[in-house]
Amino acid sequence: MSNTEAMVTITRHGQEGHVAELVLDRPSAMNAVSTAMAEALAEATAGLAADRSVRCVVVTSSHPKAFCVGADLKERNSFTDADLIRQRPRARAAYTGVLDLPVPSIAAVAGFALGGGCEIALSCDIVVAGEEATMGLPEVSVGVIPGGGGTQLLTRRIGWSKAALLIFSTKRLSGAQAVEYGLADLLAPAGTARDQALELAAQIAKNSPVGMRNAKKAMRLGSDVDLRAGLEIEDACWRATAFSGDRAEGVAAFNEKRPPRWPGE
């Protein structure tokens, strides 16, 4: 590892910095997730989650040919069972940190997104895949299983049969195939995934911060319950939004035919 590598960096975009670009930045290892990188990712996502000025997060990579190639197997090759047990909470915190971001999140996938890299993308709400992307979960080929949420997130995203095919066969998908399977949502011409993701994030960031946070909360909490319970979750999130300053400002701005100035509360 180079001493100059930051592991994870954050860049703010837009006049008011409402879009946060979280850059996977360990290029010497194609962003393989080491213990140190997992800790950096967990710390970065915790900071973003606590920052009320953030309205959308875009996860990108500093490596031109890799989003993230998964766990650092070179590091793990020297691990004892005790080492692996000690690392596990740190690894889980990294992936759940992305998953638990309270604002909309977008993965901009260019190049390899394998194993944990694919799971980081799956932890985002929207996946923009470049034509040059290669996505897959190859864990069973090295004697483990997806452990960053892959067995759960992929199944929920694309259904049991397609998820079983990808996980059991370790099949790798191109960007176009990933969109066809439902693993990714938008296909970008080669070299443009980051630009498209940031453009989409800027569009999303124009909307009510309170509305977006509560819409995401309702969607996440309601996704695995029955419809009646889901509607109760939605109602609670609606109430948390309807009596906010954002709702008052949104209605006023609409009637005054001007852009809203969201108080964010």
User: Contact at 8 Å (CB) between 118 and 94?
Assistant: no
The residues that are catalytic are: 71, 116, 119, 139
Q: Which residue in 142, 148, 178, 174 sits closest to 163, CA to CA?
A: 178
Q: Which amino acid, residue 17?
A: G
β pairing state of 112-114 and 134-136: parallel
Contacts of 159 (CB under 8 A, 6+ apart): 182
For 32-51, the DSSP string reads -B-HHHHHHHHHHHHHHHH-
**Distance of alpha carbon 155 from alpha carbon 193, whole angstroms:** 24
Residue bearing tokens 């990579």? 61
For 201, the token pair is 């994030």
Contacts of 102 (CB under 8 A, 6+ apart): 49, 213, 216, 217
Contacts of 54 (CB under 8 A, 6+ apart): 18, 19, 20, 48, 103
**Distance of alpha carbon 178 from alpha carbon 96, whole angstroms:** 22
Residue 3: its H or E element: none
